Amino acid sequence: MMMKKFKEFTKKLWMKFFKSQGQVKLGFYGPPNAGKTSLANKICQDWLGEDIGSVSKIPHETRNVQFKEKVEIEKNGKKLEFKLIDTPGIATKIDYEEFLQFGLSKKEAHARAKEATQGIIESIKWLDDMDAVVIVLDSSENPYSQVNITIIGNLAARNIPVLIVANKIDLKKSDIKKVEAAFPEYKVVGISAKNDEGMDDFYDEVFKLVKRVK
């Protein structure tokens, strides 16, 4: 109980510090290969002209939490400064053999699996430190996965505002309505980070999201 109160107190202190700096900590969470880094890269390219991290078709490409400080986004004459935090995809299982199918050697696959497990633990630890979170989902996949529900449930328990991004709307199997039906209490915005679709709406929603940061 004391520990929890202490954590809340230190969090508030951090919040005050960052708010005084005018910087909002915006996290990107979701399952592996949903396009978190692609979206974070798109934002960084739009406003800084550089990437935050590498992307790959091989799952668990992002295995460390990655940051980009002082990303200033301007929309409709308003400016906001963010610290973008791109997190490794959260999963409940990792099988190194999955990586072998992408041409990795056994040694590389084992190393990737090990790093991925550590990355997931790191992602979870960072949940406490976010001001607002963008959940990135692959809109062509089933949104009812327990990982999605677990992440959103944890953010709700911490009163952290959430925006859900249904990424990959360029894919034939994409179904935004299914994502909306799965999470009726949350705003869902459809984008294709790869094809630069829906980004205007996304930025509008990010500005609305920040208004809900306590």
Partner 1 sequence: MAVKKEGDKKELTIHFMPYSEIAKEDGLARIKKLMGLILENKIIILQGRLKPEEETKLIETTMTLIGNLKGFQGVEISTLSGNDNQSAFDKVRHNIARILVGEQDAITLIGPATFIKEIKKDPKKIELMLKRR
The residues of the shown chain that bind partner 1, judged by CB under 8 A, are 90-95, 110, 113-114, 117-118, 120-121, 124, 127, 142, 144-147, 149-150, 153-154, 156-157, 181-182, 184
Residue 114 CB neighbours (<10 A): 13
Q: Taking a C-beta distance cutoff of 8 angstroms, is the pair 62, 119 a contact?
A: yes
For the CB of residue 90, give the shortest distance to partner 1 in the complex, in Å. Answer: 7
The residue among 64 and 117 lying less far from partner 1, judged by its C-beta, is: 117
The residue among 26 and 120 lying less far from partner 1, judged by its C-beta, is: 120
Query: At CA 122, angle to CA 104 and CA 44, rounded to 5?
Result: 80
Query: At CA 25, angle to CA 21 and CA 29, rounded to 5?
Result: 175
The residue among 13 and 121 lying less far from partner 1, judged by its C-beta, is: 121
Calculate the CA 35 to chain-centre distance.
Answer: 9
Q: Return the CA Rg of the chain.
A: 17
For the CB of residue 158, give the shortest distance to partner 1 in the complex, in Å. Answer: 9
The residue among 78 and 173 lying less far from partner 1, judged by its C-beta, is: 173
For the CB of residue 161, give the shortest distance to partner 1 in the complex, in Å. Answer: 16
For the CB of residue 212, give the shortest distance to partner 1 in the complex, in Å. Answer: 19
For the CB of residue 96, give the shortest distance to partner 1 in the complex, in Å. Answer: 8
CA–CA gap between residue 26 and residue 71 (Å, rounded): 10
Calculate the CA 132 to chain-centre distance.
Answer: 10
The residue among 38 and 62 lying less far from partner 1, judged by its C-beta, is: 62
